[in-house]
A and B are shown apart, each in its own frame.
Chain A
Amino acid sequence: MQHLALAELNSWSNALADLGIVGLLIIPAIPLVFIAVYALYYGVYGERKVSAFMQDRLGPMEVGKWGLLQTIADILKLIHKEDIVPKAADKFLFVIGPAILFVGAFSAFAVLPYSSAFIGADLNVGLFYAISIVSLEVVGILAAGWGSNNKWSLYGAIRSVAQIVSYEIPAATALLCAAMMAGTLSMQGMILEQAGPKGFLDWFLFQSPIAWLAFIVYFISSLAEVNRAPFDIPEAESELVAGYFTEYGGMKFAIIFLAEYASMFMVSAIITVAFLGGWLSPLPNIGSLALNDWTNGPIWGVFWMLSKSLFFVFVQMWLRWTLPRLRVDQLMFLCWKVLIPFAFLAFTITAFWEIYVGRW
């Protein structure tokens, strides 16, 4: 199994890179198209349908069959809108804010392994790169909030920066547990470490007695990092109108939304890679039924990777429509007094486990 994966590792992206400049343009275009399609259908339409089913409604039903074209109609509407920059706003910051947000969210996709055969750039510090480039969003949020010259936006921006910066600590500590278990920071390397004939039992989540704690800590912190409920305080629509993007309209608003959905997917992908075996099949080999071998491969990899990640995006939506919002001090309490101690606990136990036991 492992040698098979190694043979095909990055084969598609390497083949594309060999095509020269055209191939090099296609590689980043793939995640871009993916984000657009995913945000359009899974992100916006899917979220509206999911929320509708949770709330005894139908959701969008008018545009197209089952409202399938609703998001397209929304995008058309947003494109038609006048691109307004408020008079009192700092024009440069106001315009650059959404751009930084999107660049931050999108750059992280460079190290995202879609399958064993495709990855934008197989960096040896892929995980490190991903979590650090995502935090570039803080700059965009601050620029947007400050540049809007609106007090509500400023509140949103300041809250957001405080929140994202704080939650990076438990998130990174929790991911370090996975990195220690893998012994590498490369995304593909981490996934390869989780390969094995036992299917899901070989994943890091089940490879140490404390990995579940790191997994939960990371999941909760990732919600806060992408400003999703119950931690959507920066954009708390009932308190801060819309938080840092109160003054935005038209396509700038759409870009901010796209960035949010992109980072939602990104953190789900990171959790998948770090704890749930990335593009590996969950099915184990049972005797002569080599389910694991049959369901692994580049194409299957795309399927597993996307379905695992999209499942976590779904969980994020599920929470969004279920839970009320925390207050800003409660949020900080949760981060500094609950999640960080638990993250350190998980970190310490994982370290000892890796030294004395390793894989079982």
Chain B
Amino acid sequence: MSDDLHIEPTVRLTSVDENTTILEKDLDTEHMLVQMGPQHPSTHGVLRVELLTDGEVIVKATPHLGYLHRCFEKHAENIDYPGIIPYADRMDYLASMNNDLGFAVTMEKLMGIEIPERIDYMRIIVSELNRIASHLVAVGTYAIDLGAFTPFLFCFRDREHILNLLEWLCGARMLYNYIWIGGVSHDFPPKFKERVLEFVRYFKPKAREIYRLLTENEIFVQRTRNIGLLPADVAINAGASGPMLRGSGVKWDLRRNDPYSLYHELEFDIAVPDGKASVIGDCLSRHLVRAIEIEESLKIIEQCIDKMPDDPNFDPHATVPKRVKPKAGEIYGRTEAPRGELGFYVVSDGKGTKPYRCKARSSCFVNLSLLGEMAKGQYLADVVAIIGSIDIVLGEVDR
């Protein structure tokens, strides 16, 4: 073949042997770079995903973070320990109680504070309530991502009851500052336990309804089944946790595997999909894990209310240290937040009331790093389904 032959860039030459060359007209389309976010309805906040697309198919997806970075770690170095808790609230703002619990448990481990049993049960009740609220948001917004608007509002209707309960408890609806180092800010108000039980009774059928509303919807299943597959080994190697890891079939829940507070005394199952309705590791599995966890949390709350000792002269501040000044040392405490392992690494130099270093290990951040892995080769619409199934809260991703 002569060299002066004009060849279009879309034409591919394949030499079969020295005499034969096949001219192939390529059907390959040009790649297009699309910026998804930071202002996009389904990136759940200010996430920017750089998508390289070939038509509707994703070639590469790169999440870009940092739009909601608020210097949690640097702030923490400049305030005393109890003051960090309101900052921790604002990390995963949908599950503030769980953040508080994580930090409080870490600090108590560092300082060796023993807290009364009643406080432990109170903490578990509120953080499980908060876990349900957080999962309701996750399930609801996931439905919205897939175009079903109504389940979202059903979820928010029920979440409202939880927010009302927690508002009654500590005055705030989302950012509670309720769990303190060594205690809690307020005792349960009178009749609070009854109201929580009332809610549990009300919500049990609703939890089933939410489970059925989406998992029995053929279109929903088609949109999520076998989409965004995450094999268990990849999930473990990347350090994924929470529903992401359990969705891949790994039975790992810090409440069981590394118990803190009083979780070792409570009966509940680790939610893993059975692989009947979903393919293990797909978006539907992760969704199912959340739906099942809601029911498990209800079980935990019921047990806690049964076991919680009543004490009329109870002082929630009895074990709260007057001055939090830990000895020199370092600690890593981890808890199972709704979105996965939330860890706090605190270094104290022993000289002051402020930490020398405070690092937060965010579950969403790690989980989000798997987006590119999962989105590759999927359709554009599936990226939305995958981001939704990771259930990110940008406040925690960026901190």
The answer to the question of A172 belonging to the interface, with a C-beta cut-off of 8 Å to chain B, is no
Chain B residues near A239: list those with CB within 8 A: 42, 380-381, 383-384
- The reply to whether A238 and B42 contact each other, CB–CB distance below 8 Å, is yes
Give the CA-CA distance A232 to B384 in the complex, in Å. 15
A324 to B147 CA separation, bound complex (whole angstroms): 5
Which range holds the interface residue count of chain A? 20 to 34
> What does the 1/0 interface line of A174-189 toward B look like (CB < 8 Å)?
0000000000000000
Residue of B nearest to A240 (CB): B380
* Whole-angstrom CA separation of A326 from B42 in the bound complex: 16
Closest A residue to B157 by beta carbon equals A56
Counting CB contacts under 8 A, is A166 at the interface? Answer: no
**Measured CA separation A56–B145 after assembly (Å):** 20
A residues less than 8 Å from B157 (CB atoms):
56
- Residue A104 at the B interface, CB < 8 A? no
Chain B residue nearest to A329 (CB atoms) is B379
Docked Cα-Cα span, A128 to B217, in Å, equals 36
User: Which chain B residues lie closer than 8 Å to A326 at the CB level?
Assistant: 219, 222-223
Judged by a CB distance under 8 angstroms, whether B199 is at the interface is no
B146 within 8 A of A: yes
Bound complex: CA A330 to CA B382 (Å): 12
Is B174 located at the chain interface by the 8 A CB criterion?
A: no
The smallest C-beta distance from B128 to any residue of chain A, in angstroms, reads 25
Per the bound structure, the CA–CA distance linking A238 and B40 in Å amounts to 8
Interface residues of B in 4-42 (CB under 8 A from A): 32, 34, 40-42
Tell me the chain B residues, 104-150 only, with Cβ under 8 Å from chain A.
143-150
CB-based contact A230/B219 at 8 Å: yes
- Smallest Cβ distance from B305 to chain A, in angstroms? 28
Q: Which of B145, B217, B219, B379 is A238 in contact with, Cβ under 8 Å?
A: B145
When the two chains form their complex, are residues A323 and B379 in contact, meaning their CB atoms are under 8 A apart? no
Decide: B153 and A238 in contact? CB cutoff 8 A.
no
Taken together as a complex, chains A and B put the C-alpha atoms of A332 and B380 apart, in Å, by 15
Checking B147, B153, B219 against A236 with a beta-carbon cut-off of 8 angstroms, the contacting residue is B147
Pick the most buried of B42, B145, B148: most chain A CB atoms within 10 A of its CB.
Answer: B148
A324 and B220 within 8 A (CB): yes
Contacts of B219 in A (CB 8 A): 230, 323-326
Q: Does B274 contact A (CB under 8 A)?
A: no
| B168 contact set on A, CB distance < 8 A | none
Q: Check: B314 CB closer than 8 A to any chain A CB.
A: no
Annotate B206-243 by CB proximity to A: 1 below 8 A, 0 otherwise. 00000000000101101100000000000000000000
Q: How far is the CA of A151 from the CA of B33 in the complex (A)?
A: 9
Q: Residue of A at shortest CB range from B214?
A: A324
Does A262 have its Cβ within 8 Å of any Cβ on chain B? no
Choose one: A55, A56, A57, A325; the contact of B147 (CB below 8 Å): A325
CB of A328 closer than 8 Å to a CB of B:
yes
Most buried by A among B40, B56, B146, B379: B146
Q: Which B-chain residue is minimally distant from A320 (CB atoms)?
A: B149
Interface majority SS (helix, strand, loop, mixed), chain A? loop
Within the complex, what minimum Cβ distance (angstroms) separates B71 from chain A?
Answer: 30
User: Counting CB contacts under 8 A, is A155 at the interface?
Assistant: yes
Please give, as numbers and ranges, the residues of chain B lying within 8 Å of A328 by CB-CB distance. 56, 379, 381
A56 and B379 contacting across the interface, CB-CB below 8 Å: no
Chain A CB within 8 A of B202 CB: no
Question: In the complex the two chains form, is B153's CB within 8 Å of A57's CB?
Answer: yes
Contacts of B223 in A (CB 8 A): 324-327, 330
Q: Is B188 an interface residue (CB 8 A)?
A: no
Residues in B neighbouring A238, C-beta threshold 8 A: 41-42, 144-147, 384
**Chain A proximity of B61: nearest CB distance (Å):** 14
A 211-265 contacts with B by CB, 8 A: 229-230, 232-233, 236-239, 241
> Does A54 lie at the interface of the complex (its beta carbon under 8 Å from any beta carbon of B)?
yes
The answer to whether A230 touches B379, judged by C-beta atoms less than 8 angstroms apart, is: no
CB atoms of B379 and A321 under 8 A apart: no
**B148 close to A322 (CB less than 8 A):** yes
In the assembled complex, the Cα of A152 lies from the Cα of B37 at a distance in Å of 11
B150 A322 Cβ-Cβ under 8 A: yes
Interface string of A42-78 (1 = CB under 8 A from B): 0000000001001111000000000000000000000
Q: Which residues of A contact B384 (CB under 8 A)?
A: 238-239
B192 contacts partner chain A, Cβ-Cβ < 8 Å: no
Given contacts A230-B147, A236-B147, A238-B144, contact A327 B382 (CB under 8 A): yes
Find chain B residues with CB under 8 A from A51 CB: 149-150
Residue of B nearest to A330 (CB): B222
Per-residue A-contact encoding for B51-75, CB less than 8 Å = 1, 0 else: 0000010000000000000000000
Q: Which residues of B contact A236 (CB under 8 A)?
A: 147, 381
Q: What chain B residues lie within 8 Å of A230 (beta carbons)?
A: 147, 219
Q: Which residue of B lies closest to A328 (CB)?
A: B56
Residues 263-292 of chain B: 1 if any A CB is under 8 Å from the residue's CB, otherwise 0? 000000000000000000000000000000
Residue of A nearest to B148 (CB): A324
Are A237 and B41 neighbours in the complex by a CB distance under 8 Å? yes
Q: Which residues of A contact B (CB under 8 A)?
A: 51, 54-57, 151-152, 155, 229-230, 232-233, 236-239, 241, 321-330
18 contacts across the A-B interface (CB closer than 8 A): A51-B149, A54-B150, A56-B154, A56-B157, A57-B153, A152-B34, A237-B41, A238-B384, A321-B149, A322-B148, A323-B148, A324-B219, A325-B146, A326-B219, A327-B381, A328-B379, A329-B56, A330-B223
